[in-house]
Amino acid sequence: MNQIRNYQKELDKILEKPEITGKTLFLHSCCAPCSSYVLEYLRKYFRITVFYYNPNISMEPEYRKRVAEQKRLIQAYNDALGLAGLSQKHSAEGYEISIIEGDYEPEKFYKMAQGLEQCPEGGERCFACYELRLRKTAELALAGNYDYFTTTLTISPLKNAGKLNEIGERLAEEYKMTWLPSDFKKRGGYQRSIELSREYELYRQDYCGCIYSRQERERQKARLG
């Protein structure tokens, strides 16, 4: 029987290395609430650039609302660092965080989802969506010469952390990049993201983003009355 990997412990070992401090991390983010804990946790170690790329979000107003919240959170985190001037990018609490907003390309998601429309949430369609977003992340991480890349998606109890790490490692090998393993929901990470969402009054959506997850959420609400 294969031993189940503990990705949080693997991350712990990486973060214990003194030479990790100040390395660059290209972090795919699905939304502000999920990134809240991850940024709080990792900015002490890495110079983080958040990559907001989510073509799965089916409605443009929803997309715009989510990306605005992501930018607002990052600004709040940077303001809290108390940096003395533009030339200073680091304080005792961590490094300044940057953000790159990817193109809004829902047509790429729909093309990817062809033939997978009836898959249940958390199944093959979701796995293909993980790869769509992580492949773009890997491409830009390579182009930007980042030391590591990873995603906030593993913080969600509804996302398959093992599959996300499997895809990330495969893409890392393909692009000759270094994947940062994670299972951010561990050690109270998910609960902390809820606390931070309240603290910063973040918009916290109740479905992943795509039309299929939205329909599933609406069915759940209908069943609950």
**What is the C-alpha to C-alpha distance for residues 134 and 132, in angstroms, rounded to an integer?**
6
2 in a domain, yes or no?
Answer: no
156 in a domain, yes or no?
Answer: yes
Alpha-carbon 23 to chain mean position: 18
Q: In the structure encoding, which two tokens stand for residue 142, read together?
A: 């390579």
CATH number at residue 182: 3.40.50.620
79 in a domain, yes or no?
Answer: yes
pLDDT tier at 221 (50, 70, 90 boundaries)?
low
The count of structural domains within the chain is 1
188 in a domain, yes or no?
Answer: yes
78 in a domain, yes or no?
Answer: yes
User: Looking at residue 85, what DSSP letter applies?
Assistant: S
**What is the C-alpha to C-alpha distance for residues 192 and 9, in angstroms, rounded to an integer?**
18
Domain that holds residue 216: 7-224
**What pLDDT, on a 0 to 100 scale, did the predictor assign at position 110?**
94
First to last CA, the chain: 43
**What is the C-alpha to C-alpha distance for residues 11 and 159, in angstroms, rounded to an integer?**
18
Q: β-strands 94-95, 90-91: how paired?
A: antiparallel
pLDDT digit string (tens) for 193-213? 999 999 999 998 877 888 887
pLDDT digit string (tens) for 122-155? 899 999 999 999 999 999 999 999 999 999 999 9
pLDDT digit string (tens) for 112-124? 999 998 888 889 9
55 in a domain, yes or no?
Answer: yes
160 in a domain, yes or no?
Answer: yes
Instruction: Give the alpha-carbon dihedral of 72, 195, 57, 217, to 10 degrees.
Output: -150
Predicted confidence (pLDDT) at residue 87 exceeds the cutoff of 60? no
